[in-house]
């Protein structure tokens, strides 16, 4: 990607399912210093990014939010992304998704109709939207499934996904989770560390988390932990080279244990620490179920 002439980071194109958390994500970006434009026509996205990239622009970080309502205007978001690909204005596409039943519950809670509902059911509107933006989802750089995320979890997910946003770096998020809460649907790779001894069954360790030294030392002292981390780091290195060749620069690796408190957290932190030794990688951790019971 070409070096930016004015913007500090690549522009962000925020899109996804209605009810998926676009407004909340936009607020997170605004808090991080982004100038955020909401639901502007597709052609105006290019004008916005170009204007913000001028030397005299007061904006150094910019994001555009677009949802299915923008499709009433000429052009398409997909065309804009294709037009900007390979240029200094190529955006990072962040797509927010959630399960249909969760989207229905969110719409019901605020007594809103879906933009594509017309005179049909809410479920029908959601299905129409999912079909309409399926292609955009397949082209997204980052997909965040907000099904089980609170606003605070969403903030952490966005911050972890974007990290320092170095222009030429490959962005890797190591996400710990608990299998009892479900596998993260936005993970590109999922690994299971439930084969390691569980600190939960050691009374003096149960109240700690994998970021605490007593638990981390216990988990990482296991011979199987060292063998797994070393082997997986080698395997992941090969995968990352392939992902880069295919143009995929945002990768989420899920590391799971039973509850997402101990083993997966400790292994994720150690794996991230080792990966950060590669200066071509921008590595961040996200502990999805860290605060859950």
Sign of CA dihedral 287, 182, 31, 81: positive
Q: Which residues pair with 173 in a beta bridge?
A: 252, 284
Cα separation, 234 vs 273, whole angstroms:
14
- Per-residue confidence (pLDDT) for residue 251, from 0 to 100: 92
- Per-residue confidence (pLDDT) for residue 50, from 0 to 100: 94
Specify the long-range contacts of residues 26-32, CB closer than 8 Å, at least 24 apart: 26/63, 26/65, 28/154, 28/155, 28/158, 28/159, 29/63, 29/158, 32/61, 32/159
- Which residues have CB under 8 Å from 189's CB, separation 6+? 236, 239, 251, 252, 253, 254
- Per-residue confidence (pLDDT) for residue 31, from 0 to 100: 85
Q: How far is CA 210 from CA 54, 217, 243, 266, in A?
A: 45, 9, 29, 4
Cα separation, 60 vs 50, whole angstroms:
12
Annotated binding residues, written as ranges, equal 67-70
- Per-residue confidence (pLDDT) for residue 171, from 0 to 100: 87
Residues of the chain falling short of pLDDT 70: 1-5, 72, 74, 163-168
- Per-residue confidence (pLDDT) for residue 292, from 0 to 100: 87
- Per-residue confidence (pLDDT) for residue 1, from 0 to 100: 40
- Per-residue confidence (pLDDT) for residue 165, from 0 to 100: 52
Cα separation, 60 vs 214, whole angstroms:
43
Do 227 and 147 contact (CB within 8 A), yes or no?
Answer: no
Express each pLDDT in 207-249 by its tens digit. Answer: 999 999 999 999 999 999 999 999 999 999 999 999 888 878 8
- Per-residue confidence (pLDDT) for residue 111, from 0 to 100: 81
3-state SS class at 192? strand
- Per-residue confidence (pLDDT) for residue 163, from 0 to 100: 63
- Per-residue confidence (pLDDT) for residue 119, from 0 to 100: 83
- Per-residue confidence (pLDDT) for residue 167, from 0 to 100: 52
- Per-residue confidence (pLDDT) for residue 76, from 0 to 100: 83
Cα separation, 45 vs 52, whole angstroms:
11
3-state SS class at 51? helix
Q: Domain boundaries in the chain?
A: 12-162, 170-287
Annotated binding residues for GTP, written as ranges, equal 67-70
User: Six-digit token pair at 189?
Assistant: 């790779």
- Which residues have CB under 8 Å from 268's CB, separation 6+? 174, 175, 176, 210, 255, 285, 287
The full length of the chain comes to 293
Where b means 16+ CB within 10 Å and e means fewer, 271-287 reads bbeebeeeeebbbbbbb
Of the options 3.40.1120.10, 3.40.50.300, 3.30.390.10, 2.40.128.130, the CATH number for the domain spanning 12-162:
3.40.50.300
């Amino acid at each position: 990607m070409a070096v930016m002439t004015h913007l500090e980071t690549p522009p962000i194109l925020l899109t996804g399912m209605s009810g998926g958390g676009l407004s909340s994500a936009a607020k997170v970006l605004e808090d991080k210093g982004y100038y955020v434009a909401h639901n502007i026509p597709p052609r105006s996205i290019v004008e916005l990014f170009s204007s913000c990239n001028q030397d005299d622009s007061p904006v150094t970080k910019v994001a555009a939010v677009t949802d299915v309502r923008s499709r009433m205007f000429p052009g398409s978001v997909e065309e804009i992304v294709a037009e900007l690909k390979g240029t200094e204005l190529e955006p990072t596409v962040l797509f927010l998704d959630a399960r249909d039943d969760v989207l229905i519950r969110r719409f019901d809670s605020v007594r809103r109709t879906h933009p594509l509902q017309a005179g049909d059911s809410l479920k029908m509107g959601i299905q129409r939207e999912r079909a309409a933006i399926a292609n955009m989802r397949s082209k997204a750089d980052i997909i965040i499934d907000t099904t089980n995320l609170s606003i605070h979890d969403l903030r952490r997910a966005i911050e972890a996904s974007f990290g320092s946003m170095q222009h030429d770096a490959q962005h890797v998020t190591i996400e710990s989770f608990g299998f009892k809460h479900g596998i993260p649907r936005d993970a590109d790779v999922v690994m299971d560390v439930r084969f390691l001894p569980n600190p939960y069954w050691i009374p003096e360790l149960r109240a700690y988390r994998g970021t605490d030294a007593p638990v981390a030392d216990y988990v990482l002292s296991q011979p199987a932990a060292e063998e797994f981390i070393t082997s997986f780091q080698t395997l992941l290195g090969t995968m990352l080279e392939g992902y880069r060749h295919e143009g995929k620069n945002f990768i989420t690796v899920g590391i799971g244990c039973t509850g997402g408190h101990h083993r997966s957290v400790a292994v994720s932190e150690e794996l991230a620490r080792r990966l950060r030794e590669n200066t071509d990688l921008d590595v961040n951790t996200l502990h999805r179920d860290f605060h859950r019971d």
